[in-house]
Structure 1
Amino acid sequence: MAKRFGGRFSPGIRQDNLNPAPPAPIRHRLAGRPKYVTMAAAPFLFGAFFQDPAGMAGSLAAFGVIASAMWMTGEGLAAEAAYQVRRVARRPAIPRKLFGSVLTGLGLGLGMAEPGGLAGAGVVGATGMVLHWLAFGADPMRDKGMAGIDDFQGGRARRMIEEAEGHLSQMRDAIRRIGDRWLDARVDRFAAAVEDLFDRVRDNPGDLSAARRYLGIYLMGARDATVKFSDLYRRTRDPAVRQSYETFLDDLEQDFSAKSRRLLEGDKTDLDIEISVLRDRLAREGVRASEPAALDAPRTETARFLDGLLTPGRDKAR
């Protein structure tokens, strides 16, 4: 289906929205490798049609299992990329790359299995698992930046953010129905501001109460407005409606960015208070900063001779 192109000089495009670029999608540096492994397993697929029924079933199963393993591995790489870019993150609930490694070994074993040769197929499968681990690495197995975070508050924040991410996804889907790449990029810019607020709440789940209205009511309103705009603009292509929607996004994006800054300033204020309270407690305990250490006495012969001349009482004291 043809898509309307929205460029720099297209009618109805506001020039004040041209500078900020949409954020680059999160992508793992190894995200392209699974497809090459799937392509390397293609001989199992094509060679299956030149075998007997049992061999055909084994070869088709081998290709299907390997393709499934690479899909699982790709999902694991995407989860790892999201884990790496976040300052606070939980380990993936499902070790997808580990499952992908097991499926890879199973697929290779099925492809090499022959009557009476199961030991050799097992060796090939185990080798495939090791090579998968060397090629793609292991899944993150520990939480990151979760020290000092209450599990109950963290769980509430995580559920609220997951619900808010669903609202953002529905906004993107509604805008994609218009087929205007400029509007797609504009919604992505707004989503970047919202995801910055997500990061603030992940770092400090105690801020959830202050951000709840933004992650719930305001984001739901933005989603509903986007769906209505999409339906109306696809029918009318009215520039006034488009401009009104873009102004709405501008105002909402500024509100979300301002809320993120206020939460960050609140974190700094809390840190200053904690430092001040700790200093007061140390002062009440009588702890003071240590005095600077005295300079060492001169070490060279000339320096000691001059020092003796300047302090004539030293020799008598000795």
Structure 2
Amino acid sequence: MAEGTIRGWSGRRRSRVGARANALYIAPIPLLFTAFGQDPAGLALDLAAFFTLMAAAWMTREGLRAEDAYAAREAARRPALPRKLLGAGLTGIGLALAGLPLVGGAIILAILGIALHIGAFGIDPLRNKHPEGAPAWQAERVAAAVDEAEAHLAEMRAAIVRTGDRTLLVRIDRFADTARGLFRRVERDPRDLPQARRWLGVYLLGARDAARKYVDLSHKQDNGAARVEFMALLDDLEDGFARRTEVMLLDDRSDLDIEIDVLRERLAREGVGTGMKGD
């Protein structure tokens, strides 16, 4: 799955990447003050502990971001790298280094650090997530297609960030919200993937390439015309994604009407009233 943070998404849950994760960056700072008052061996151990704990904080933060993205999707593959578990392990190693040269104390600190980290942040998702009733192979295809689409959106945003144009960045996020409406639709019903595949792949790939070309132009000269054309492209794409999602919903309604009509006729042949409108 695409493991980066899903930005600007109006339907997402509140992120768990907050004060607790940020506190992990603050906790090792005292080691910097104690390190420089010791002999070379103590200095090396405290600095090693500091950098290990900072790496643990970064790994944990990335793991929480990946879990947010996983939780927000209807169909998703488990994170390829168990970042939160690695963060717990690095926390244990960092605390053990801080506890040396007392071996017994170091072991106790390592065990406590790992246990408290898992208690505070949990472990990474260990299973692929599939919509209820969907075959695993079908859900896997959807997850792969949405991963590709999310990667295109992330690359678009990264390109526009380089321009420093905050108005355009907000516009990109709004477009991404609309595009993700189609993603969620396909995740809920993987049978819609054939209809949406071009939108998730070809069209977003073209949008990503257009964003990169616009950024190249904006760096070479003040090209207001190119910006207007790129904004118009985003408008057209957003409208297309919204219409595609609406058509899928209408198709579902048509399928429901057909099922109701078939059921009504079958019950009528059996001489049973359905109580439905039109009986």
TM-score (norm 1): 0.72
Q: Is the 8 A contact 2:146 2:200 kept in 1?
A: yes
Structure 2 partner of 1:182 = 167
Q: Distance in 2 between matches of 1:276 and 1:78?
A: 46
Structure 1 partner of 2:245 = 260
Could you tell me which amino acid in structure 1 is paired with residue 199 of structure 2?
Y
Unaligned runs of 5+ in 2: 1-7, 275-279
Structure 1 partner of 2:49 = 62
**Superposition pairs of residues 159-308 of structure 1, within 5 angstroms:** 159-271=144-256, 273=258
**Superposition pairs of residues 127-166 of structure 1, within 5 angstroms:** 127-166=112-151
Residue 88 of structure 2 corresponds to residue 93 of structure 1? no
Q: Distance in 1 between matches of 2:238 and 2:200?
A: 13
Could you tell me which amino acid in structure 2 is paired with residue 73 of structure 1?
T
Residue 69 of structure 2 corresponds to residue 82 of structure 1? yes
Q: Is the 8 A contact 2:63 2:83 kept in 1?
A: yes
Structure 2 partner of 1:113 = 100
SS at match of 2:79: coil
Pair 1:277–1:108, CA change in 2 (3 A): farther
Q: Is the 8 A contact 2:75 2:143 kept in 1?
A: no
Q: Distance in 2 between matches of 1:228 and 1:145?
A: 37
Q: Percentage identity across aligned positions? A: 48
Structure 2 partner of 1:102 = 89
Structure 2 partner of 1:304 = none
Structure 1 partner of 2:23 = 36
Q: Is the 8 A contact 1:97 1:139 kept in 2?
A: yes
Q: Distance in 2 between matches of 1:174 and 1:216?
A: 18
CA-atom RMSD, angstroms? 2.9
Deviation of residue 122 (structure 1)?
1.5
SS at match of 1:92: coil
Q: How many pairs were matched up?
A: 266
Structure 2 partner of 1:309 = none
Pair 1:273–1:125, CA change in 2 (3 A): farther
Deviation of residue 255 (structure 1)?
0.5
Deviation of residue 105 (structure 1)?
1.8
Pair 1:284–1:151, CA change in 2 (3 A): farther
Deviation of residue 181 (structure 1)?
0.9
Q: Is the 8 A contact 1:109 1:121 kept in 2?
A: yes
SS at match of 1:251: helix
1:261-297 deviation digits (Å, cap 9, x = unpaired): 11233334445555666677788899998xxxxxxxx
Deviation of residue 126 (structure 1)?
1.4
Q: Distance in 2 between matches of 1:107 and 1:91?
A: 27
Q: Distance in 1 between matches of 2:30 and 2:228?
A: 54
Higher mean Cα deviation, 90-99 or 212-221? 90-99
Pair 1:89–1:173, CA change in 2 (3 A): closer
Deviation of residue 136 (structure 1)?
1.9
Q: Distance in 1 between matches of 2:79 and 2:125?
A: 7
Deviation of residue 259 (structure 1)?
0.5
Q: Is the 8 A contact 1:171 1:227 kept in 2?
A: yes
TM-score (norm 2): 0.81
Unaligned runs of 5+ in 1: 1-21, 290-318
Q: Distance in 1 between matches of 2:260 and 2:55?
A: 53
Q: Distance in 1 between matches of 2:209 and 2:257?
A: 40
Pair 1:284–1:93, CA change in 2 (3 A): farther
Higher mean Cα deviation, 38-47 or 252-261? 38-47
Q: Is the 8 A contact 1:105 1:127 kept in 2?
A: yes
SS at match of 1:139: coil
Deviation of residue 74 (structure 1)?
0.6
Deviation of residue 90 (structure 1)?
3.7
SS at match of 2:36: helix
Q: Distance in 2 between matches of 1:34 and 1:277?
A: 55
Q: Is the 8 A contact 1:30 1:136 kept in 2?
A: no
